Amino acid sequence: MDTGRLGSFVSPIDGPGGRVAWKVVNAAAMHSGERVLVAMSGGVDSSVAAARLCDEGYDVVGVTLHLWDYPRDDGSSASHGRCCAPEDQYDARRTADALSFPHFTFDRRALFERTVVQPFVDAYLGGETPSPCSACNRGVKLAELFALAERLGASHVATGHYARITRGADGMTRLAAAFDREKDQSYFLYASPRAWLDRLIFPLGESTKGAVRTEAARRKLPGAGKGESQELCFIGGGAHAYGDFVADRAGGRVRPGVIVDESGRKVGSHEGVHRFTVGQRKGLGVALGRPAYVSRIDAAGGTVHLGGEDALLSQQAELADVSLAEGVALPVRARVRVRYRHEGEAAAVLPSPDGAARVHFDSPVRAVTRGQIAVLYEPDGDGVLGGGRIAGVSDGTG
């Protein structure tokens, strides 16, 4: 039973005659002196997460990672997302001041460029559609937060992610989906090892986004009225934002090519494969008189293949860079999500040579795309079993 994280909660105790009784426990007394490093983005989620940790008596230390600098040609902040914008460092510090805990900012721009941005560019030039948020959480944010926790003497790391940590009867921790399915971010955290899960805290895992916003307003936290970030934090909005970003950093690797239909007939031309993704229908620059979608991208030949809905269906996917939760071994049955907004499809996941894996979907899945992440969940539950980068797809007939 939870009283809203206002400093106390109701806890079961052994009562007379073996009955369960309840007592009000001061949450601040439970974690008094335990230092937790909390990631601060300056947004609503991380601010409420920090406030809840303060309520529970943790010795909170706020950390903001400076990851990117943004062009300000238009004099506004509308051209980029809010995830790690420089001005949000100020809001993070204001929240820390309001809640009376120390706050530090660390420059990790070079690491972010090397680990997230350049691989993002390379993937698009190679005809893939990458998942930079997964790469960022794995290789930058969480990795750096745990390194900083060691330096700052923190036993735990907390973030404003919507995800949960569960603990089985054997005491093993496991990542699980959040209560709020619309905001669940466990997909991006699939590769978190148990050594991290044992020390991670997700204060928002059992909350809805609406409840978090209401709480931020009630607490009068700085930035309580901030909007949601809709795009990648390092790329602005607009129809051509992704393509222009990649082209600007391609170093002469962009080259034009052709667009062909199902029969291989040329139906158009393009300025670079990086401006296309599997499943795309709009912005193709061609009119076939019928619905047409990008069904395949041949980066080596510079060819974009179009097809109908049936051409988007895949029965199998090959996974590389596979990461499995502790205690999970292949083969395994799983519900597999092939992109963030995918509900998941039942599948058998089999081992392949060199640590890879092959996913056999029970039913064909639309627009399974190279470069995206396939995350494995319990067939009838919320627990994350692992995941990997989609390296190849097929209709299962080969």
Q: List, by residue number, the catalytic residues.
A: 136, 233
Nearest to 356 by CA among 316, 387, 383, 327: 387
- Helix residue ranges, H only, 169-309: 194-197, 209-219, 241-248
Phi, psi of 345 (to 5 degrees): -130, 140
Handedness of CA 360, 364, 368, 373 (dihedral sign): negative
β partners of residue 374: 388
Q: Helix or strand or coil: residue 138?
A: helix
375 Cβ contact list (under 8 Å, min separation 6): 186, 187, 190, 336, 337, 384, 386, 387
CA–CA separation, 12 vs 106, rounded Å? 42
Smallest CA-to-CA distance from 374 within 175, 122, 137, 131 is with 131
Q: What angle do CA 358, 361, 365 make, to 5 degrees?
A: 115
- CA separation for the pair 398, 390 (Å, rounded): 18
Local structure of residue 210 (DSSP, 8 states): H
* 15 CA to centre of own chain: 44
Question: Is there a contact between 269 and 259 (Cβ–Cβ < 8 Å)?
Answer: yes
Cα–Cα distance list, 325 to 167, 174, 176, 195 (Å): 13, 7, 11, 11
In the numeric block, which tokens belong to residue 297? Answer: 């991208």
How far does the chain reach from its first CA to its final CA, in angstroms? 54
Amino acid found at 353: P
* Rounded CA separation 13/20 (Å): 6
Which amino acid is residue 312, in one-letter code? Answer: L
**8 Å CB contact between 66 and 84:** yes
Whether the Cβ atoms of residue 173 and residue 198 lie closer than 8 Å to each other: yes
Q: State the DSSP H helix or E strand holding residue 118, giving kind and residue range, or none if neither.
A: helix 118-125
